[in-house]
Amino acid sequence: MSLHEHPNNPIPAGAHCDFVETPDRVRIRYAHWPAAGKRRLGTVTLLQGRAEFIERYFEVIEDLRARGFAVVAFDWRGQGGSQRVTRNPNRGHISNFKKFRLDLRTVLKKVSLATYPGPHFALAHSTGALVLLSDSERLRTMLDRAVLVAPLLGYAPGSRGPEPAEVGRKLLNLISLGLLGKPGLKTTAPKTSAFVEKLGYPVARVLSAIGFGRLYTPGGGKKPDWTFENNGLTSDRTRFERSAEVQEAAPELAIRGVTFGWLSAATRTMKSFRRRDAGPNMKLPCLVFAAGNDQIVSTPMIEDFVARTKAAAYVEIPGAGHEIMMERDIYREQFWAAFDAFIPGLEAEQDLERASRGEREFS
């Protein structure tokens, strides 16, 4: 499958698109681009979020290439142009995040490291950032640094259904004519979705264990709503509608909601980062971004994890939605300023400068 072009979303020049096969024989679609201009700062491998595809990142790819990076992008198994893992190609399913880790290792070994020079970096969003974190010990030998954008470390309260405590509070407020059940302070607000973690996750684990993991979670089989007014991803209408147009023109790239298997696998992986040793054991240097107005993942859970992680720095962008890289320019500029300060890093930049001087002297 080649890349899909749209008048409002042109393919960056110099693209090479192909498939690579994982050890368990799943075909992963990938694309790569050389750096633009004379400056060469290394290679960035892009890790998308759930239900995304390479075409959504063309603008980000151009931003990276203009900075002097070669770029590698790919679609996770079961989404985009990669091989689907269920008979129903619309089903967003995975039984274990080990399979996503296999996708990532395969692309890094066979494409990123084999095609472009280092230093090598990762730019990961949401579910992609969770996959990277879950394999950071192994990836430390392949990557120099990583930038994580709104990593899925907890579901935002209310993002997957009504919160029991909030429903009870509103009911109490109604019965008492406003005397009781008033909203609490922000510091006492729930950090993640109790609805999912206390109800949805146990149900998903049981259904997955007895062979029903491929069933959609409630509402998961519906066609995605690409109406800007109803989106919880970005406040940038132009970028949101551009993604919607691409998906409408190439519907085979899209998937629908998650299955109980996906919910079980994702939540199980997330919960592993709440162990006391999860932060201190992280060795891969990371810059972690959180969105101040994230309605998809839990910003407080991201902050909690980074606070326990010596190898990570934290930047929160107030007002930004979940898809920071596809937000309005006022938010994107803050993102890129912090990115530029962290990647490639002082030591890597000095090494590149020394290598460049050596080449000039030799020539």
pLDDT digits (tens, 9 = 90+) for 239-277: 999 999 999 999 999 999 999 999 999 999 999 999 888
What are the domain boundaries of the chain?
Answer: 16-157+193-362
Given this model, what pLDDT does residue 356 score?
Answer: 60
CATH of domain 16-157+193-362: 3.40.50.1820
**CA neighbor of 123 nearest in space, from 186, 213, 63:** 63
Nearest 10 degrees: Cα torsion 221, 271, 124, 132: -120
Q: Are 181 and 171 in contact (CB under 8 A)?
A: yes
Alpha-carbon separation of residue 83 from 20, 89, 133, 180 (angstroms): 11, 9, 24, 54
Put simply, whether the predicted model's pTM sits higher than 0.85 gets the answer yes
Beta strands in the chain (DSSP E): 16-21, 27-33, 42-47, 69-74, 120-125, 145-149, 286-291, 312-317
pLDDT digits (tens, 9 = 90+) for 274-308: 988 888 888 899 999 999 999 999 999 999 999 99
How far is the C-alpha of 282 from the C-alpha of 244, rounded, in Å? 37
Q: Are 45 and 120 in contact (CB under 8 A)?
A: yes
Lowest mean pLDDT among 118-122, 267-271, 359-363: 359-363
Residue 363 predicted with pLDDT over 70 = no
Beta bridge partners of 145: 121
pLDDT digits (tens, 9 = 90+) for 30-76: 999 999 988 899 999 999 999 999 999 999 999 999 999 999 999 99
Given this model, what pLDDT does residue 247 score?
Answer: 93
Contacts of residue 89, Cβ cutoff 8 Å, sequence gap at least 6:
252, 255
Confidence of residue 194 (pLDDT cuts 50, 70, 90): confident
Residue identified by tokens 């930047």 is 315
How far is the C-alpha of 140 from the C-alpha of 26, rounded, in Å? 24
Mean pLDDT of 137-154: 96
Given this model, what pLDDT does residue 173 score?
Answer: 52
Lowest mean pLDDT among 25-34, 121-130, 315-324, 342-351: 342-351
How far is the C-alpha of 165 from the C-alpha of 170, rounded, in Å? 9
Q: Is 74 helix (H, G, I), strand (E, B) or coil?
A: strand
Residue 170 predicted with pLDDT over 60 = no
**CA neighbor of 285 nearest in space, from 198, 345, 338:** 345
Q: Are 132 and 139 in contact (CB under 8 A)?
A: yes
Residue 167 predicted with pLDDT over 50 = no
